[in-house]
Amino acid sequence: MKIKQILLAARPKGLPVAEDFKTETATLPELQPGEVLVKPLYLSVDPYMRGRMNDTRSYIPPFQVDAPIESSGVAEVTASKADQFKPGDKVMSTAPRPFLPWATAAIFPAAHLRKVDDSIPLTHYLGLLGVPGLTAYFGMVDIGKPKPGETVVVSGAAGAVGIVVGQIAKIMGCRAVGIAGGSEKIKLLTDTFDFDAAIDYKGNPDMDSAVAAACPNGVDVYFDNVGGDISDAVARHLNFFARVPLCGQISLYNSTEVPVGPRIQPILVTRSILMQGFIITNYASRFGEGVKQLAEWIKAGKIKYTETIEEGFDRLPDALLGLFSGKNSGKMIVKV
């Protein structure tokens, strides 16, 4: 069977460009007993994927040059030589490799797939009940530990993780302040997602005063998705005993040299602040708890969600590149 797939053509230097990807056709072998043929329906693009394009030590192995890109996704079974699956089943791949290749079809051993309940929108598995929702949940509950009345600031607030962080902050009785780029996103945060305040970093010459104005009692939890100058401005307003879940540093992912900036350690020492990097797979053994709580909040109408859906397999590289210019509101997904 002929398929189309998208490969990493070259390791990008700095911001990735279209030429770092290439599309080719390939042939899948015959389906063997115990195997399942699937067709990706929705593929996720996520900021962490930039890191996998480098050949550096991180929490997931790097992509290989001339091999298909892979990402989270929901697929449909189109043929099966395994009893557990039949055509039409909606599936996701499981740990230790919970990804689908960027291909129009793929073969998996049955043991590496799990069925998903298709009575809820399938894209939720890539968003609220998937990596972004669980990332927001565990970063807040396990590291941020917000207490009622505290101020929670989240950067990348209009992104897939950020909008959930802000809503969890509100559920926990906190003041929620989001930082995002552009008036449309700012309006989305305060009007649709009930943030108490939102700061537009684009073209803002004085982020320091903006953070001070939005956080009259300082910052108790800073959920950091972006790093760089924006985080420097927030850092100056961190309170004694503040907690900083470090979820991402998207502003630095395309740096070609070691990023330099004001040292954060003196602030952490003098104010007894905790800063902790994390990745969602650290919490794999507690995913059930997270999914259960998030599903309850969704049912109770306490968490809303937004997605940006691009259409067409060929749009995958563009959708990924779009993350770095902030094209998405909420989770960015490609409908294959």
Question: Which residue from 1, 10, 31, 279 is in contact with a second copy, where contact means CB under 8 A?
Answer: 279
Query: Which residues 6-45 are close enough to bind a second copy by CB under 8 A?
Result: none
Query: Which residues are 70's β-sheet partners?
Result: 101
- Closest to 150 (Cα-Cα) out of 199, 196, 209: 196
Binding of a second copy by 262 (CB under 8 A): yes
Query: Which residues are 91's β-sheet partners?
Result: 75, 115
- Closest to 187 (Cα-Cα) out of 203, 202, 198: 198
Cβ neighbors of 39 (< 8 A, separation 6 or more) are 75, 76, 78, 104, 105, 336
Scanning 56-64, 125-133, 172-180, 194-202 for contacts with a second copy by CB under 8 A, the matching segment is: 56-64
Scanning 62-70, 89-97, 106-114, 246-254 for contacts with a second copy by CB under 8 A, the matching segment is: 246-254
Binding mask 210-229 for a second copy (x = CB under 8 A): --------------x--xx-
Binding of a second copy by 302 (CB under 8 A): no
Find the shortest distance in angstroms from Cβ 254 to a second copy: 12
**Beta carbon nearer to a second copy, 69 or 247:** 247
**Beta carbon nearer to a second copy, 127 or 248:** 248
Query: CA 243 to CA 221: how far, in whole Å?
Result: 5
**Beta carbon nearer to a second copy, 95 or 120:** 95
Cβ neighbors of 123 (< 8 A, separation 6 or more) are 42, 74, 307, 309, 331, 333
**Beta carbon nearer to a second copy, 190 or 254:** 254
Binding of a second copy by 187 (CB under 8 A): no
Binding of a second copy by 272 (CB under 8 A): yes
Query: CA 301 to CA 292: how far, in whole Å?
Result: 14
**Amino acid code (one letter) for 27:** T
- Closest to 169 (Cα-Cα) out of 215, 204, 207, 130: 215
**Beta carbon nearer to a second copy, 108 or 283:** 283
Binding mask 67-106 for a second copy (x = CB under 8 A): ----------------------------------------
Question: Which residue from 276, 292, 311, 314 is in contact with a second copy, where contact means CB under 8 A?
Answer: 276
Binding of a second copy by 5 (CB under 8 A): no
DSSP notation for 151-203: EEEEESTTBTTHHHHHHHHHHTT-EEEEEESSHHHHHIIIIIS--SEEEE-TT
**Amino acid code (one letter) for 272:** S
Q: Which residues bind a second copy (CB under 8 A)?
A: 51, 56-59, 224, 227-228, 231, 240, 246-249, 252, 258-279, 282
